[in-house]
A and B are shown apart, each in its own frame.
Chain A
Amino acid sequence: MDHASSSAPGRVVLALEDVGKSFGAVAALRGAQLELHAGEAHALVGENGAGKSTLVKILAGVHGPDTGRVLLDGQPVTLTDPAAARAAGIAVIYQEPTLFPDLSVAENIFMGRQPLLPGRRIDRRTLGRRCRELFDRLGVALDPDRPARGLSIADQQMVEIAKALSFDARVLVMDEPTAALSGVEVERLFAVARSLRDSGAAVLFISHRFDEVFDLCDRITVMRDGQWVSTDLARDLTVDQVVRRMVGREVSSLFPKIDVEPGEVVLEVRGLTRRGVFADVSFDVRAGEIVALAGLVGAGRSEIVRAVFGVDPYDAGSVRVGGEELRRGDPAAAMAAGIALVPEDRRQQGLVMELSVERNATLTRRWELARGGLLSSRAERAQAAEWSRKLQVKAGKLSDPVSTLSGGNQQKVVLAKWLSTEPRVLIVDEPTRGIDVGTKSEVHRLLSELAAGGLAVVMVSSELPEVLGMADRVLVVSEGRLVDDIPRARADEDSVMLAATGQGGTRAGAAR
């Protein structure tokens, strides 16, 4: 597959060989490989969860690989911590800027590397001058002495870029740096990346924006499910080929969506807008339907459903359940109207880890189960037992803390907690994240049965196979806008990924 290595310019500066990394039971990387040449810009692409960010963190010295080797100039190196990676000449620009809000812009850039006067005192004058030189080179007009607090995301990103530039990195890693940048700023960033490349540095560029990938990069490495898929010269590839390699999976039969004739419209969302987060989002969900919100991480999917449920505020638009308009920003009203939200991060938002299974399962109904203000343990236990049976929760005892359960069973407890409120609309955010394959299909079966029973289901998911297997309709969100509404018959990896990356879709043209 690697046509490029023979014809690529320069020697190999940095290489990853057969790198593996697991977090608990989840393998984030398995046999990942990468070769960066001096004087090349190299793109790393892959779906959400393909292992790109883990790979970046290994290069940055944040994580150590479990298996495999990192080679710098052909010599194996151990990047024990971020300082070691930096000393090795590896600069990383993260997706989220990592600045010190209380310190000045100049100090942020030169933290730990401030120019010194005799006696190891910081030379503030030189510090300011070097910072201004960097900004001149980047063409930004930031004041070196202002604090980083209050900078726009784009300006924060420019500070990060200046930081990377300031220590003459041999390897510059950029993890989706352009998400918050405007066209001109992206051009400026690319100019810097090109000049670094031309002076012999290796640039690793991670992005979901294919136009930028093809614009900047000489070679493209595709990853999928934590594994290396291919590395090719960019000029030998098309966007379609790259997308196919990124998804490259058969949609497995693990996702048994039962066909249901959709009933009446239960949830109506009209023109929902939250400034700077999402804009003009409208959709309907019918009883018995599973509607998936697909898109890239950060596209605004979770934010949309959180606003629908009332946890987050919104600036304009309306949410109706069964024709009744909901008060905005009022989760209690949403619950009363029959919406249930199973959040993305069940450990943080869905469960009280130290409490027992039965307590967690009945948290949403504690008023109904109380007599005279006191919770009745017997009523709690009865209800928890009923739902555990329905959902086949595998727990030792219902009085065990929920933290002792596996991820899949924890998710069932969260579902039980919400289903016991007898909702009409169930919103699930990443319902199977971090759940092993076997339990995954059980969660899917459950959602499917619930829909068949007349529940309207809204599912946010970053896993394409799950989306394609489960959803009656796929709503694609890109950069805060609903860019496409794909019925089951037309939904496949290509159509969804193209819409999500802003490359295609019926409404996508308008948004780009």
Chain B
Amino acid sequence: MSAPVTGTPAALPEELAAPERTGHRGSALVHRLFVVRELGILAALVLLVVVTVVANPRFLSGQNVRDLLLSAAILTVLAAGQTMVIVTRNVDLSVGSVLGLSAYATGTLLVVAPGTPVVVAVLAGTAVGAVCGLLNGLVVAAAGVPSLVVTLGTLYAFRGLDSLWASSADRLQINAADLPSGFKALGGARLLGVPVLFLVAVAVVLLVGWYLRTFRSGRELYGIGSAPEAARLSGIPVGRRVLTAFVVNGALAGLAGVLYAARFQTLDTTAGTGQELFVVAAAVVGGVAIFGGSGSVYGAALGALLLTTIGTALPQLGLDPFWRDAAVGALILAAIALDRALQLRLAARLRGRNARRDR
């Protein structure tokens, strides 16, 4: 009789008894595969940079790299938040609109009260985002509506609110001249030559990564995405955790709005339009499983960096910028294929270690 490894009511043969399993190779194996996953993105990134530098040596000039990091900073902050949501088997499509709303709110605050300290402005923008996230989270967690639909709705609602506000305040665009110099300095500020905005993004990624790995509630987010029913049965407060993920993601989108305002300093109601799918793309390319349960915020951050680099590198390679979209698409497909291949390999390896039981 052959091997019932899967759910089987058939009588199990005698030789299944007393399995002698090997020791602690599993952790190393899994760890290696995850490292492979992130190294893969890193390798793609390095390859892209090398090719671009060969074609255009000025690609690695200080200013160019700084611009690149500045652009990546905003996407990275968004990707970090989105990772928390996707890991719970949800998605937040409203982040582009939240970014726009928060950027406009921050700008308005600074125009109306130019003496506002920068810290207060940052907190205000973040709070605007948190409130948006709370709305999303409440509808998803309490009413049980699929997050895809809810956030598709709020994608338009938040953007509409933004436009309504701008037109009723008769301030359709906020220009650099309207903003206080203290805030504008943030956009160009550097620490040891590295743009401060990028350092903020790095700090966000490290914090979120640390939280997801180190705290019970962080692990529970993975549990919820991995097996929602099992999460419920093991007493995880699913609704509360999902709500938290949406609030944090909203707050980070709000923070990204402030970074956007500081970097571009010219704000209208289209800020961040279309960013939501780019963010999801960054997370998926970075190995965050769209059905939840696995993936790291570091991978998502690398994904964001890679997508940004592609956008910057292609013009330098003399390619039409329109190729960027095609490249991003190809990258998403490649990432999915890689994930699938790694998953199959992992499954085969894990099964191989049960082989004795498989006769």
Q: Do A and B come from one complex?
A: yes
A contact set with B: CB distance below 8 Å = 60, 62, 81-86, 92, 94, 96, 98-104, 107, 111-112, 114, 116, 120-122, 140-143, 145-147, 149-155, 179-185, 275-279, 298-300, 479-481, 511-512
9-residue interface stretch from B17-25, B271-279, B329-337: B17-25
A183 to B233, Cβ gap below 8 A?
no
Given A100-B223, A145-B24, are A279 and B10 also a contact pair (CB < 8 Å)?
yes
Residue of B nearest to A480 (CB): B10
A103 to B5, Cβ gap below 8 A?
no
A121 to B9, Cβ gap below 8 A?
no
Measured between beta carbons, the chain B residues less than 8 angstroms from A300 are 9-10
Residue of B nearest to A163 (CB): B234
Chain B residues 18-38 with CB under 8 Å of chain A are 18-27, 29-30
Residue of A nearest to B294 (CB): A102
B contact set with A: CB distance below 8 Å = 1-14, 16-27, 29-30, 214-216, 219-220, 222-223, 225-227, 229-237, 289, 293-294, 346-347, 350-351, 354, 357
27 cross-chain CB contacts under 8 A: A60-B233, A82-B232, A82-B235, A98-B229, A98-B233, A100-B223, A100-B293, A102-B222, A102-B294, A103-B222, A111-B234, A120-B216, A141-B23, A142-B21, A145-B27, A146-B27, A146-B29, A147-B26, A149-B347, A152-B357, A153-B8, A182-B17, A183-B14, A185-B17, A276-B5, A277-B10, A481-B10
Distance in angstroms between the alpha carbons of A149 and B350 in the assembled complex: 8
B20 to A141, Cβ gap below 8 A?
yes
B6 to A276, Cβ gap below 8 A?
yes
Given A98-B234, A112-B220, are A141 and B214 also a contact pair (CB < 8 Å)?
no
Given A276-B5, A276-B8, are A146 and B20 also a contact pair (CB < 8 Å)?
no
Measured between beta carbons, the chain A residues less than 8 angstroms from B346 are 147, 149-150
Measured between beta carbons, the chain A residues less than 8 angstroms from B235 are 81-86, 112
Rounded to whole Å, the gap between the CB of B79 and the closest CB of chain A is: 20
Distance in angstroms between the alpha carbons of A89 and B161 in the assembled complex: 50
B231 to A100, Cβ gap below 8 A?
yes
Given A60-B233, A143-B26, are A276 and B215 also a contact pair (CB < 8 Å)?
no
B12 to A182, Cβ gap below 8 A?
yes
Residue of A nearest to B87 (CB): A102
B293 to A152, Cβ gap below 8 A?
no
Q: Which 8 A-B pairs have the closest CB atoms?
A: A146-B26, A83-B235, A145-B27, A276-B4, A150-B350, A102-B293, A480-B10, A184-B17
Distance in angstroms between the alpha carbons of A142 and B4 in the assembled complex: 19
A275 to B26, Cβ gap below 8 A?
no
Measured between beta carbons, the chain A residues less than 8 angstroms from B25 are 143
Given A141-B19, A182-B16, A275-B3, are A480 and B230 also a contact pair (CB < 8 Å)?
no
A275 to B351, Cβ gap below 8 A?
no
Interface centre among A81, A86, A111, A299 (most CB of B within 10 A): A111
Measured between beta carbons, the chain B residues less than 8 angstroms from A96 are 7
Residue of A nearest to B8 (CB): A276
B10 to A278, Cβ gap below 8 A?
yes
A98 to B230, Cβ gap below 8 A?
yes
B223 to A103, Cβ gap below 8 A?
yes
B347 to A143, Cβ gap below 8 A?
no
Distance in angstroms between the alpha carbons of A84 and B235 in the assembled complex: 8
Given A122-B219, A146-B26, A150-B347, are A277 and B8 also a contact pair (CB < 8 Å)?
yes
Measured between beta carbons, the chain A residues less than 8 angstroms from B225 are 102
B351 to A277, Cβ gap below 8 A?
no
The 8 Å CB contact of A276, one of B3, B223, B357, is: B3
Residue of B nearest to A121 (CB): B214
Measured between beta carbons, the chain B residues less than 8 angstroms from A99 are 227, 230
Main secondary structure of the interface of B (DSSP, over half): loop
The 8 Å CB contact of A150, one of B216, B219, B351, is: B351
Distance in angstroms between the alpha carbons of A415 and B257 in the assembled complex: 59
B223 to A143, Cβ gap below 8 A?
no
Measured between beta carbons, the chain A residues less than 8 angstroms from B222 are 100, 102-103
Main secondary structure of the interface of A (DSSP, over half): loop
Residue of B nearest to A156 (CB): B7
The 8 Å CB contact of A114, one of B20, B21, B219, is: B219
A279 to B1, Cβ gap below 8 A?
yes
Distance in angstroms between the alpha carbons of A122 and B12 in the assembled complex: 38
Measured between beta carbons, the chain B residues less than 8 angstroms from A151 are 350, 354
B350 to A180, Cβ gap below 8 A?
no
Rounded to whole Å, the gap between the CB of B195 and the closest CB of chain A is: 31
Given A100-B223, A102-B294, A143-B27, are A299 and B9 also a contact pair (CB < 8 Å)?
yes
Distance in angstroms between the alpha carbons of A107 and B7 in the assembled complex: 23
B357 to A112, Cβ gap below 8 A?
no
B2 to A114, Cβ gap below 8 A?
no
A480 to B8, Cβ gap below 8 A?
yes
Rounded to whole Å, the gap between the CB of B23 and the closest CB of chain A is: 7
Measured between beta carbons, the chain A residues less than 8 angstroms from B8 are 153, 180, 276-277, 480
Measured between beta carbons, the chain B residues less than 8 angstroms from A104 are 27, 30
B216 to A153, Cβ gap below 8 A?
no
Rounded to whole Å, the gap between the CB of B234 and the closest CB of chain A is: 5
Given A94-B233, A103-B219, are A275 and B4 also a contact pair (CB < 8 Å)?
yes
A147 to B219, Cβ gap below 8 A?
no
Measured between beta carbons, the chain A residues less than 8 angstroms from B232 are 82
The 8 Å CB contact of B215, one of A107, A122, A143, is: A122
A121 to B294, Cβ gap below 8 A?
no
Rounded to whole Å, the gap between the CB of B174 and the closest CB of chain A is: 42
The 8 Å CB contact of B350, one of A111, A146, A153, is: A146
Distance in angstroms between the alpha carbons of A275 and B2 in the assembled complex: 7
Rounded to whole Å, the gap between the CB of B359 and the closest CB of chain A is: 12
B9 to A146, Cβ gap below 8 A?
no
Rounded to whole Å, the gap between the CB of B19 and the closest CB of chain A is: 7
The 8 Å CB contact of A183, one of B6, B17, B231, B347, is: B17
Measured between beta carbons, the chain B residues less than 8 angstroms from A94 are 233
The 8 Å CB contact of B9, one of A83, A114, A298, is: A298
A181 to B12, Cβ gap below 8 A?
yes
Measured between beta carbons, the chain A residues less than 8 angstroms from B227 are 98-101
Measured between beta carbons, the chain A residues less than 8 angstroms from B289 are 102
Residue of B nearest to A303 (CB): B9
Residue of A nearest to B24 (CB): A143
B220 to A111, Cβ gap below 8 A?
yes
Residue of B nearest to A502 (CB): B11
Distance in angstroms between the alpha carbons of A511 and B11 in the assembled complex: 8
Given A141-B19, A180-B8, A184-B17, are A121 and B237 also a contact pair (CB < 8 Å)?
no
Measured between beta carbons, the chain B residues less than 8 angstroms from A142 are 21
